[in-house]
Amino acid sequence: MFKFFLIKLAQLVPTFIGVTIVAFAFIRLLPGDPILLMAGERGISAERYAQLESQMGFDRSLVVQYLDFLKGLLHGDLGNSLVTHAPVMDEFMSRFPATLELSLFALAFAVIIGLPAGVLAAVKRGKTLDHTIMGVSLTGYSMPIFWWGLLLIMLFSSTLGWTPVSGRISYMYFIEPVTGFMTIDSLIAGDWGAFLSALHYLILPSIVLGTIPLAVIARQTRSSMLEVLGEDYVRTARAKGLSNFRVIMVHTLRNALISVVTVIGLQVGLLLAGAILTETIFSWPGIGKWMIDAISRRDYPSVQGGLVLIAFIVMIVNLLVDLAYGVINPRIRH
């Protein structure tokens, strides 16, 4: 198992280097110049421009800039934001827990609803229930996030008044960040009202962000359940006279889970991408919103640093998923 882990880890190194190149090049390939954007209609004199350019280090060759970026990266230093002048690492870390919290709640929502829905659809294959579940999940999968979010806000927040429109917690609470998870920090602070408020604010964005993964998980669960249900050992289990429940939950589901876990792992990348839109709609103070601001201001260090960190996280999650297979299905280890 340890060797398996090491091999997987070693495979990540070239990927990671590739990511740094892409991240570095991406923001520079976009037309736009951070200094000119900052100056706006007011403009900037040529000498002042040159001065700022050299301060920011953009007058050096791209290769030197890239190597500098890589060197900093190895020391855990991603440079400072051109806008706030704060270290990119700090800026990222102070916002990442918000995104992670939202993603975990969205994923939990997707799994809790998607998995049973998929199992149910497989068991009731071809029946009305199956068609309904698959129809709804196809709709969910095709839903444009921005539109879906606004629709839910209009219905549940503006019209019915059940949920808040946007934000992370009521402005009445200010919880000192410890873990950065609002739900956990409010409990640490012993503030029950803040905890409930944080949950309240999580409902809509979790649903919106979880919708697409939910659809994917439901469909994947259904198809891999159907595949396993056709296997000989399931027939054997039934022949032994095991209860239907036992056959489905133990013999079928456990084996069907392998591909479902893969899909769930792949959702993490999608969740982080979806978080960018969801955070914009719900004014959620996470890295998605931060990245959008950084891109529009051509804040090179923030964008390249943010991309590398996000890619790193996705890679680690995928590594964990690979390891999880090993646990679920020992055959994969070799």
Is 68 an interacting residue with respect to other proteins (CB under 8 A)? no
Q: Amino acid identity of 7? A: I
Is 157 an interacting residue with respect to other proteins (CB under 8 A)? yes
C-beta of 139 vs 158, nearer to other proteins: 158
C-beta of 53 vs 227, nearer to other proteins: 53
Binding to other proteins by CB under 8 A, coded x per residue (else -) over 37-56, reads xxxxxxxxx--x--xx--x-
Burial (CB < 10 A; 0-12, 13-18, 19+), residue 60, is middle
Is 166 an interacting residue with respect to other proteins (CB under 8 A)? yes
Say how far apart CA 250 and CA 326 lie, in whole Å: 18
Chain length of the chain: 334
Point out which span in 11-19, 66-74, 113-121, 276-284 binds other proteins (CB under 8 A): 276-284
Is 134 an interacting residue with respect to other proteins (CB under 8 A)? no
Is 193 an interacting residue with respect to other proteins (CB under 8 A)? yes
Is 190 an interacting residue with respect to other proteins (CB under 8 A)? no
Which residue is associated with the tokens 């646990």? 327
Is 164 an interacting residue with respect to other proteins (CB under 8 A)? yes
CB contact at 8 A, 185 and 178: yes
> How far from each other are the two terminal CA atoms of the chain, in whole angstroms?
9
Q: Residue 14 CB, nearest distance to other proteins (Å)?
A: 33
Within residues 277-316, the interface with other proteins by CB under 8 A covers: 280-283, 285-286, 289-290, 293, 298
Q: Residue 157 CB, nearest distance to other proteins (Å)?
A: 5
7, 18, 21, 84: which one binds other proteins (CB under 8 A): 84
Which residues lie closer than 8 Å to 53 by C-beta, 6 or more apart?
Answer: 35, 59
Tokens of 92: 């990222």
Quickly list H helices, the chain. 2-29, 34-39, 46-56, 62-74, 88-123, 128-142, 145-152, 182-188, 192-229, 232-239, 244-246, 253-281, 287-296, 300-328
Is 203 an interacting residue with respect to other proteins (CB under 8 A)? no
**Interface residues toward other proteins, by CB under 8 A:** 30-45, 48, 51-52, 55, 83-85, 91, 94-95, 150, 153-154, 157-158, 161, 164-168, 170-174, 193, 280-283, 285-286, 289-290, 293, 298
